[in-house]
Each structure stands twice: as structure tokens, then as C-alpha cells.
Amino acid sequence: KIIPAIHLQSSASFLMTNFISICIVVVVICTMGRTILVSGFDLTDSADHVKDLLERIAGIGTIFALKLRPPKKVTTTSKAFAVVQFDTEKSASLVESAAQRNVLRNGRFYLKVRPADRDIVPRPKTTMFSLEDTVLHFGCLVKENVLHVLWSAKEVSVKFGFDMKKIQFYLIYNFIKYKLELSYESIWDMKLHRPPAHRSRTKFLLIQVQAVPKIYEALPSLSGLMYDDPIYNYFRDDTDDQWTRTIDFTPSASIGQSTMLCLEVPQQCDLPNIGDYFFYYKEFNDDFECHKRYSYSCGTRIVPVVKSPNDIDVPYEILFKINNMVQIGTLSGPTLDADFFRLVSPKFIPMDHINHALSEMSELKSTCLNPTNWLSLHYSNSLNLCSSFSKSSQISLDDGLVYVYRVQVTPAKVYFYEPEINVSNRVVRKYLADIDNFLRVSFVDEDCEKLRSVDLSPRSVSGNNSRRTALYYRVLSVLSDGITIGDKHFEFLAFSSSQLRDNSTWMFASREGLTASDIRKWMGDFRKIRNVAKYAARLGQSFSSSTETLKVQEYEVEKIPDITNGTRYIFSDGIGKISADFAMEVAMKCKVKRFTPSAFQIRYGGYKGVVAVDPRSNRKLSLRESMSKFNSQNVTLDVLIYSKYQPCFLNRQLITLLSTLGVGDSVFESKTSKLLELKTKSKIFIPSGRAMMGCLDETRTLKYGQADVIFICLVRPLLSKLFSNLVVCACRSHPNECSGSDLDGDIYFVSWDQSLIPTRMVAPMDYSPAPTETLDHEVMIECTCIELAKLFSVAVDFPKTGVPAVIPHELHVKEYPDFMEKLDKPTYVSKEAMECKEFDYKLGHLMDHYGIKSEAEITSGCILKMSKIFTKSSDADAIKMAVRSLRKEARSWFSEMSADGHDAGDAMASAWYHVTYHPDYWGRCNGGTDRPHLISFPWCVYDRLLSIKQRRRT
């Protein structure tokens, strides 16, 4: 990308004629930089010396990075060489030309030049503008032109990245150099306030953020190695390995409490063309004030968190919602006073009115700077108080779904999220009455991306990786000390295996009679487990999202031995059996009616693994020792997943593996050429393949090297009950040969596409686990509608028949439903429109919450993109089930309102369709929000609509 020439020309002119102490530096960006090797330097030369020498030829400031190194074997005649990365092709060519003409010398020695294999800094970052010696304020707006300043820094350098993708702030505090990095996506709004010159010598650039900047601390050069020594290394811009992540270093954690960054710069200083990059950028010629104030958060360890004064009782769920609005910038923390908290206390205001008001407030598109006045006006509006439509975003959930509060902890901040729909697990089903005392906590980066391991323990050239960052201790502090919200103190409970991958955990707020320790004791007996990782994994078994099915008493369970065949391998690792009759009962509890799955991934007491259908078994369950992980008195069978059709895809890892085993690149290219609609060709659908759950050949039919893909190959009678499964033989541990896999629920890639069959085989690695570390201690319709429908049919046929539709006097409308807004006619409250409004509000809230852009995506389950705080792998199922629950709730409304008979139901379905699709009502059910008009509501009763359509045809 090239900066427009007019920008360069005007900026250059400004620099030449208006040089001041604070100015913009414009860097011409070229994408054709090049790296060369220059040899012939003295071993005593420095990087600065080499840089100065080469820039005499290439031009000052043309070197982007430089490394000076000695040869591998040093002798008395040895010479050093330099790897030099120039910012343009032209600069490198000038140095090469000088060497060819023998004018490139270091003292009396000629220097030689040749191309380098790679750049020092791949894809170097580019700076478009920079400012020096600015003042940076952190705080919150309390009025349109007043900033509540929590902390300020002087002598701050600012770099605006190309296309404004990033803004970096450099400052020194307590003799430590810090870098704050703000991404384009984290910026909510930008405004420039330019006071009159006679009243202020500075102007104020306000940056309202959705997420605070990432904070970095400069790494000291402690290794003593040449790779770290500035004598031998030069970088024009900072590189990532010169910085390490850290937490909020300011007093009272002021960065985390702030929703506004304010750059104070001299009036005469030009700024970048921000309006070219930010659509919402505005400039104001008015006064602006910065007032130094104090922290508003009730603590400094986790910020920002607000609470009500001691004499005002605010329920936990209301306080949670208020904190959420403070943290995302809908409310300004310093503006919340005692008067505000009285207006959200059930002692003074009815609870449903508070919830309705806060729901309205949460949809504001800008910060509410006077929330007390806003609430007072809202309550005084009798329409809001008397409205029969109370906005509640919560859905009546199906069995197996629960609402759970969620918190995200970032390096500098915390975010509270209103209850989210989760697939339940064994623990929350047991303690469902205490669901508000459970909390899901995730550790994420400021931009909601996943934290990296180097953020907790930076890499070191010296090989010493024991150093921990402040971010590591922040995570440890939250896990050790918990989180306090109002009168609830949440402490660590446990985490599932999927949560471990997502950096999240469960917490619980103990109450009288029930603590987190009590819950762990109920889960099972873990006293014999002395390995910390294994202890945590066993705790997590009970937190896997699952479907509760049936109770199985101990006498109904058969203990069967594992299969080892006299080797160190357990061929039956994690696999057991289930009788055919019981499998059918379990399938019904899982709401699988069209077929009975042949295998289920289960949790039963302290057992985990897979049970496959065995038609010969007369016991409900047959379980092996390898499935037993701890002792538990729980006798309920929980199902995680079951065998079913799963399409097969090639991903990057499989492509790499198959390519290594001899499958040609042309095979993958031919398959991607048929998928032109894909945005990325890293996931290729393979029709001749399936993703399948593995299970064991209990019949000993298969030989070593054989496996049965049962859903298409039913030639073996004894195996014919195992549909949609990959059956492996029990003669040698094939699963273990597949990357150390086992049969406790692992999914296998199976393909019979001849072009993907490897041309060679490689002996599998030894996947024996490393020794574990153990501890020495415990770890409605009427006749009039029918008549009107007949007249409508007559009217439609008028062009062909010439017979007009004459409406009798008794069928003329006497009152209109309120949603038609016939202000000059008598009206009545329309139940149909209210149900449509409620459905659309709840569905729209789901879309907003998960960051889903279109109704088609959320209703079909084919979600293309969602908010960064969620993942398709862990949240897609919950979203589908939430939509299913909402449809079920809508059908319950339909059943209640059409209880008078079949005709009443048809009328209701027609009314639902009418208020959704008729152009006169388009956009009337979105509650005044700017959401697009939603159309899926009437299809909750699709069977009625189709029945009506079919009868009209006949």
C-alpha cells in the first residue's frame, strides 16, 4: 500500500516550514525492502559503526535492522560480517553497486556484498505517523467535555501504524520503559476537541476504547550473549522479542478502570487524517477539561468493579448487570452515586421495572453520562411502567440447558457477562438451586484472543525459561484468591478438559451449608490421586457438558477385564459395552428417535470412556478397569456424544501428514479447485470419508492391520450392529499407533478415497507417557375469519371472474390491533404482535450477545462468524439448543392462545405470519432498536402454516 502523494507532499512541506518540538514524522512505505550480507569488517567494529558507514551510501535512515557477527571459526585474520535489512530495494542496490565498483571500504579493506537468505525481521511493521513529547491521560468521561482523569503520563511517544491498524504509546514510569498497543478493533470512537487558542495552548484527541491497550514492559539484556547486546545489533523499530507482556502498572490500576484515552498535544501540531480511517471521527471547536480525580472501583486487584453503598441493598443479578455496563463503557463508573443505586434497589423500585430499564439502557449506542437522570425519566414514563410487554432476554430453556454467569479476566481488566446458555453437566444439575453461585471464568487477552504461553513465561535465548511474567502471577492470584462480586465471593472449583484448552475454569460462591470443597467431595474420592494434573483432570470429568439419561444401579453393571494380550499395551483402553435394549432407552433420553446409536461416550460415577452396543450382552453396562478413574457413589449415566454421521474434512495437519506419506500436492490442488466458494482452502470436504468414533472388535474377528467401517460394510454378521463406527482389531493397539490415541471417545479420520491412500507407511512412534510427578499429600380463530378468507379468494379471482368481493356490514372492522397504529380508530391490545415482539427481542438479544450478524446464521446453525469471546467448537451447540428452546417457548405461547380448537390454531398461525411479513408492519417488532427486521417467528409453528397452505391448494 502506498500513501497518497498529496499526503506526502503536504506533510513534507509542513515539516520544512513549520518545524516545532512536537511534530509528525511521515515514513515513506515501500514493500520491496531487501536484506544483504556485507563481509570484511573488523571483529572490534560495532553495529553503529557499520550502520553509519553503509548509510553514507544508501542514505540516512534506510537501514531497518542490522546484525554484526563473527565467523564460526575465529583466527587472527578473521573478518566479521553484517546482515543488513534495508527498507527499500533501491537502498540495497546502492550498496551492492558500490561494492562492485570497489568503493565500498572499511578502512583499507574492501567489503564484499551478497544476497541474504532471509530477512532479519519478517514482514516489518510500518509507521505512518508519530508524535513525541505528548501527554497521555487515562480516565472516564463524566460530561461531554469533561474527563475524569485517573492517571496521566508525560513525555509520551505515539506511533500510528499504517492504515491506523495499531496505535502504540511509549512511556517511562518508575525508570521502566512501557509500550501500550491499541488495535483498530478496540477503538469505539474518536473525537478531537480544539478549544479556542486564547484559552488553551493544547487540543485533546479522545479515544474511547472497547478494550484497553495491551501492556508491554521492556526486557533488560540479561543473558550476556551477543544476540542481546546492542553493540552488535541494531533495530530501527522495536521488535517483539524486546518486550514482554505485563499487567497494569499504574496506581489503583488506572488503565483497567479507564474507558477513555486522551492525547493532549499543542494546538499547532498537525494530526494524521484520522477521518480517512474512522467513520465516526468528529472534530469540535469547543472547550475541554481534564480533572484529576480518584479511583471509583471498589478494589484494585480486579478492576473495574463497582458496588452499592452499604445502606442500599442491590441484588446480585442487578449489580452484575451494572458492572457489565461499566466495563464495556455503556455507563461511566465515576457517575454512579448513591442516588443511582437507590433507583436500582428493589426497596424503592419494583424488580421488573429495574430489569426493563437496565435492558433498555444496555442497548444504548453511546455512554450514558447521567444515568440517575436517565432512570428517573424512564420510570416516570407511565408507558414503560404499564407496558404489558416486559423485555426479558431470557428464554425458557429445555431440559439440559442452564443459564450461567460468565466472567472474562484480561491482563488489565475484568468483564462481567449476563447469564449465558450452557449445556449442563453433572455438577450443575445436582446443585441447580445454587446455579447463581456458579461462575465460569476465562482468561483472555485484551482483544479477547487467547493468551499465549510466552505471555506467561517469555522465551529466553539463554535457555532459562523459569522466569515468570507479572501476567502469570495475575492469573495465579485470581485462581488463588477468587473474585468478589457484591456479597458473593467466588473461589476455584474445577475445570473440564475443554476448559483447560480454552484457559477457563469454574468457580463457586460458598454459602452456609455448601462450599466448593463440599461439591468436590460429592463428586468422588480423589484422595489417592497425588499427581496434580491428573487430580485436576479427574475433577474435570464431572464438568464435561453432558445429557443426563438413566440411573444404573451397581448390580446392573458388569466388571469385565481389559485386553492386553500379554503386552504392555491395553487394547481395550477406555472402551466398554452396553446392551442393545438399554442403548435404545438411552437414545430416547438423548432425544434420538430415528435410530439407536451404536456407541456412546459416557460418564458414570468415576468411569469415563465409550460403551459400544453388544447384542449379546444381558447387563446394562459392562465396564473395564481402564475406564475407572476414581471412586464415586453417583449412579446416573451421562452421555457426552454418540455415534452419528459426521462429515470428513482435510485440514492443514492432515494435508501435511498425508503429503509426508507420499500423497502428491496435485491431489490436494484438484480437490480445492472444486471448492471455489471457500474463503480459505485449509478445510477440504472429502465425500469418500467420515469422521468416526472408534470402538473395539470384541468378537476377535479382525486381524492385525484390519479395521471395519461398519456403516458401509456389513459383511460380518457379528459386527453388523455397530453402525457409524470404526471397529479396530484387538490383536494390536492400532489406536495407540495413531498418535497415542485410545478408545475413550477419540474421533478418527477415515477415508476410502484412493487418491488419498499413502504410498508408503512409517513405523509409529513410541507414545509411552512420561513419568508423572506425584505429591506426598492429597491434592385463537372465529367464523368471521373463515368468511373473510372466502371473500379474499373471491377478490383474488376478480380479474378472471368479474365477481367482486362484497364485505357484509357485520364483517367490517370495528377495532384495530394496536400494532397497526391507527391513531384515529378504536384499538385493542394485539396478543399476536406482543408475542412477535417478545420472540424477536429474545432472538435479537441472542444475536447481539454472540456477535452473529444474520438471522439466517443463528436459525440454521451455520454460523460464519461470531464474537471473539466465543468459539464455534465450544459454543455452537449451546446456540443451537438456545434457538431450539426459544422455538419451543413460542410454541407454548401458541398452545395456550389457540386452546379453543383447530380453527383457533390456524387463525393464530395466520396472524403470526401476518404481523411478521406484511409490509405495513415491517420493523414494528424490533422494539425500537436498529436491528434488521426478523422473519423466523411464524415458522415456530411451521406445521400449521404448511397445513393451511396445503388446504388452500386443494
Residue 259 has pLDDT above 60, yes or no: yes
Chain-centre distance for alpha carbon 687:
30
DSSP state, residue 5: H
Q: Residue 592 burial (CB < 10 Å; 0-12/13-18/19+)? A: middle
Q: Which of 241-255, 442-456, 573-587, 791-805 has the lowest mean pLDDT?
A: 791-805
Q: Residue 505 burial (CB < 10 Å; 0-12/13-18/19+)? A: buried
DSSP sequence for 511-526: BTTB-HHHHHHHH-B-
Contacts of 277 (CB under 8 A, 6+ apart): 163, 164, 184
Tell me which amino acid residue 176 is. I
DSSP sequence for 227-247: TT-TTTEEESS--GGGEEE--
DSSP state, residue 752: -
Spell out the alpha helix ranges (H) of 810-930.
831-850, 855-860, 872-897, 902-917
Tell me which amino acid residue 709 is. V
What sign for the dihedral angle of Cα 135, 139, 140, 145? negative
Chain-centre distance for alpha carbon 685:
25
pLDDT at position 389: 47
603-614 mean pLDDT: 96
Residue 741 has pLDDT above 60, yes or no: yes
Per DSSP, the three-state class of 766 is coil
Residue 635 has pLDDT above 90, yes or no: yes
pLDDT (tens digit, 9 = 90+) per residue, 355-408?
Answer: 999 999 999 989 999 999 999 999 988 554 445 445 567 788 888 899 999 999
Give yes or no for a contact between 217 and 458, defined as CB atoms under 8 angstroms apart: no
pLDDT at position 898: 67
pLDDT (tens digit, 9 = 90+) per residue, 655-675?
Answer: 878 888 888 888 887 776 655
Q: Count Cα neighbours of 864 within 13 Å in the Cβ-side half-sphere.
A: 8
Short-list 423, 441, 357, 425, CA closest to 392: 357
Contacts of 648 (CB under 8 A, 6+ apart): 685, 686, 689, 690, 691, 749, 750, 751
Short-list 154, 267, 254, CA closest to 204: 267
Q: What share of the chain is helix, strand, coil (3-state, %, to 5)?
A: 30, 25, 45
How, if at all, do strands 401-409 and 488-494 pair?
unpaired
Per DSSP, the three-state class of 402 is strand
Report residue 602's pLDDT band, with 50, 70 and 90 as the boundaries.
Answer: very high
Report the alpha-carbon distance of residue 782 to residue 898 in Å, rounded.
11
Please give the C-alpha separations between residue 867 and each of 185, 328, 841, 883, in angstroms, as whole numbers.
Answer: 12, 14, 19, 17
**What kind and span of H or E run contains 116?**
none
pLDDT (tens digit, 9 = 90+) per residue, 205-255?
Answer: 999 999 999 999 988 765 555 566 788 999 887 776 678 999 999 999 999
Cell of 530: 497425588
Residue 860 has pLDDT above 70, yes or no: yes
Helix and strand totals (H; E) in the chain: 26, 39
Short-list 472, 473, 493, CA closest to 482: 493
CA-angle at 795, arms to 792 and 800, nearest 5°: 140
Give yes or no for a contact between 144 and 369, defined as CB atoms under 8 angstroms apart: yes
pLDDT at position 44: 92
Tell me which of 156 and 570 has the higher pLDDT: 156
Report the alpha-carbon distance of residue 689 to residue 726 in Å, rounded.
12
First to last CA, the chain: 64
pLDDT at position 392: 65
DSSP sequence for 404-459: EEEEEE-SS-EEEEEEEEEE--HHHHHTGGGGGGEEEEEEB-TTSPBPPHHHHS--
Report the alpha-carbon distance of residue 131 to residue 320 in Å, rounded.
40
551 φ, ψ (degrees, to nearest 5): -85, 140
Do you find a cis peptide bond into 304, omega within 30 degrees of 0?
Answer: yes
Q: Residue 874 burial (CB < 10 Å; 0-12/13-18/19+)? A: middle
Q: Which of 235-239, 683-687, 691-695 has the lowest mean pLDDT?
A: 235-239
441 φ, ψ (degrees, to nearest 5): -115, 130
538-559: b (≥16 Cβ within 10 Å) or e: bbbbbbbbbbbbeebeeeebbe
Q: Where are the beta strands (DSSP E) in 90-220?
A: 105-106, 109-110, 112-115, 127-143, 146-161, 166-173, 176-183, 187-193, 202-209, 214-218
How, if at all, do strands 557-560 and 621-624 pair?
parallel
281-288 mean pLDDT: 95
Global confidence as pTM:
0.77
Cell of 81: 560480517
**CB neighbours of residue 565 within 10 Å:** 11
Report residue 550's pLDDT band, with 50, 70 and 90 as the boundaries.
Answer: very high
Tell me which amino acid residue 268 is. Q
Report the alpha-carbon distance of residue 890 to residue 939 in Å, rounded.
10
Tell me which of 815 and 111 has the higher pLDDT: 111
Report the alpha-carbon distance of residue 294 to residue 149 in Å, rounded.
8
Give yes or no for a contact between 841 and 393, defined as CB atoms under 8 angstroms apart: yes
pLDDT at position 475: 96
Short-list 936, 890, 835, 846, CA closest to 388: 835
Residue 819 has pLDDT above 50, yes or no: no
Contacts of 382 (CB under 8 A, 6+ apart): none
Give yes or no for a contact between 407 and 438, defined as CB atoms under 8 angstroms apart: no
Q: Count Cα neighbours of 234 within 13 Å in the Cβ-side half-sphere.
A: 21
Determine what percent of the chain is predicted with pLDDT higher than 70.
80
Short-list 644, 651, 643, CA closest to 685: 651
pLDDT at position 707: 75
Residue 903 has pLDDT above 70, yes or no: no
Report the alpha-carbon distance of residue 592 to residue 616 in Å, rounded.
22
Please give the C-alpha separations between residue 489 and each of 49, 379, 609, in angstroms, as whole numbers.
Answer: 60, 32, 35
pLDDT at position 589: 94
435-453: b (≥16 Cβ within 10 Å) or e: bbbbbbbbbbbbbbeebee
Give yes or no for a contact between 925 and 837, defined as CB atoms under 8 angstroms apart: yes
Per DSSP, the three-state class of 781 is coil
Per DSSP, the three-state class of 797 is coil
Short-list 414, 534, 428, CA closest to 474: 414
Contacts of 92 (CB under 8 A, 6+ apart): 33, 34, 35, 36, 58, 84, 86
